[in-house]
């Protein structure tokens, strides 16, 4: 076993633990409770979870998805979030290699997973995640790509473009089409990825959002009232932009060089 292999296994396990923490974030942040205290309890019988009930994935498998005390079912969402987070860590390592940028983008992806899940469940993008996200994105861009100028422009463009779309939509329909959370989320994405990737993210999220929206309309036979939260698509688009955005841009711009 090479040291690199051992480091990769360790990194994968670290991803599982962060996934476990993400479960707490996804459950507690929209309810305004602390992610540190109190320790987790079974929502049914109030049983205080021991450390051995908190081992990522393994506890869920050994307890066969049930509370140790009252046997109430535990959502399969918990091990799924843990495994997805681990895969996300490995994917970043594969694309960026061991580097400072990889660590930053993994942290960014972790925030995106939290926003994705919270928006899907609560139609909410908490300031507790987006506002520190904007600050961290700008600070790390002082020394890492895309650079501070690009990052500031990205945050401004991200906020401004959705603000303009929301204002136009309000003028046109008299309804609020987008929450302020979406604006702050795209500002955060711009702070991490720069202004060009804000455009890439918007295109990817709008296309995937339209396709899935049409699918939902087709399945629900024309019930257009069912609104899919835009933040979930912003999260998917930003993740693709973070991992592949440079390649997408090069490919797109390449079309015009012939």
> Taking CB under 5 A as the rule, does residue 35 contact Zn ion?
no
DSSP assigned state of 223: -
> Taking CB under 5 A as the rule, does residue 115 contact Zn ion?
no
Toward Zn ion, which CB reaches closer, 72 or 207?
Answer: 72
Toward Zn ion, which CB reaches closer, 41 or 220?
Answer: 41
Toward Zn ion, which CB reaches closer, 42 or 183?
Answer: 42
From 91, 119, 120, select the one nearest 105 (Cα to Cα).
91
Distance from C-alpha of 135 to C-alpha of 147, rounded to nearest angstrom: 14
Toward Zn ion, which CB reaches closer, 28 or 122?
Answer: 28
Distance from C-alpha of 209 to C-alpha of 215, rounded to nearest angstrom: 10
**Which stretch, 39-47, 80-88, 111-119, 164-172, contacts Zn ion (CB under 5 A)?**
39-47
> Taking CB under 5 A as the rule, does residue 48 contact Zn ion?
no
From 19, 107, 29, select the one nearest 56 (Cα to Cα).
19
Figure out which of the listed residues 13, 33, 44, 132 binds Zn ion, where binding follows CB under 5 A: 44
Q: Which residues contact 175 (CB under 8 A, 6 or more apart)?
A: 169
Which residue do the tokens 């939902």 mark?
Answer: 216
> Taking CB under 5 A as the rule, does residue 153 contact Zn ion?
no
Binding-residue total with Zn ion (CB under 5 A): 8
Shortest distance in whole angstroms from residue 77 CB to Zn ion: 17
From 247, 242, 249, select the one nearest 110 (Cα to Cα).
242
CB 136 within 8 A of CB 196: no
> Taking CB under 5 A as the rule, does residue 47 contact Zn ion?
yes
Shortest distance in whole angstroms from residue 46 CB to Zn ion: 7
Contact map string, positions 66 to 105, toward Zn ion, x by CB under 5 A: -x-xx-x---------------------------------
**Which stretch, 64-72, 107-115, 158-166, 230-238, contacts Zn ion (CB under 5 A)?**
64-72
CB atoms near residue 47 (< 10 Å): 16
Toward Zn ion, which CB reaches closer, 44 or 220?
Answer: 44
Contact map string, positions 119 to 138, toward Zn ion, x by CB under 5 A: --------------------
CB 186 within 8 A of CB 164: no
Distance from C-alpha of 181 to C-alpha of 252, rounded to nearest angstrom: 30
* H-state helical runs in 73-124: 77-96, 100-122
> Taking CB under 5 A as the rule, does residue 42 contact Zn ion?
yes
The binding site for Zn ion (CB under 5 A) comprises 42, 44-45, 47, 67, 69-70, 72
């Amino acid at each position: 076993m090479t040291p690199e292999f051992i480091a990769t296994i360790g990194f994968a396990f670290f991803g599982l633990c962060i996934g476990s923490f993400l479960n707490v974030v996804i459950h507690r942040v929209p309810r305004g409770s602390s992610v540190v205290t109190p320790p987790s309890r079974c929502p049914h019988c109030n049983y205080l979870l021991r450390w051995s009930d908190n081992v990522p994935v393994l506890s869920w498998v050994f307890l066969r998805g049930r509370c140790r005390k009252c046997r109430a079912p535990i959502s399969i969402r918990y091990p799924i979030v843990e495994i997805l987070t681990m895969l996300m860590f490995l994917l970043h390592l594969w694309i960026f290699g061991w580097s400072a940028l990889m660590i930053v983008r993994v942290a960014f992806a972790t925030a995106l997973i939290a926003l994705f899940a919270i928006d899907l469940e609560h139609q909410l993008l908490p300031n507790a995640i987006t506002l520190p996200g904007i600050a961290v994105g700008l600070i790390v861009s002082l020394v890492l790509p895309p650079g501070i100028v690009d990052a500031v422009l990205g945050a401004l463009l991200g906020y401004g473009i959705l603000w303009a779309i929301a204002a136009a939509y309000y003028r046109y329909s008299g309804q609020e089409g987008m929450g302020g959370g979406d604006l702050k989320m795209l500002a955060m994405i711009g702070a991490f990825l720069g202004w060009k990737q804000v455009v890439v993210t918007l295109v990817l999220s709008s296309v995937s959002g339209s396709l899935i929206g049409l699918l939902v309309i087709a399945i629900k036979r024309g019930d257009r009232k069912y609104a899919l939260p835009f933040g979930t698509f912003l999260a998917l688009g930003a993740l693709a932009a973070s991992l592949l955005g440079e390649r997408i841009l090069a490919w797109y711009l390449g079309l015009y060089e012939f």
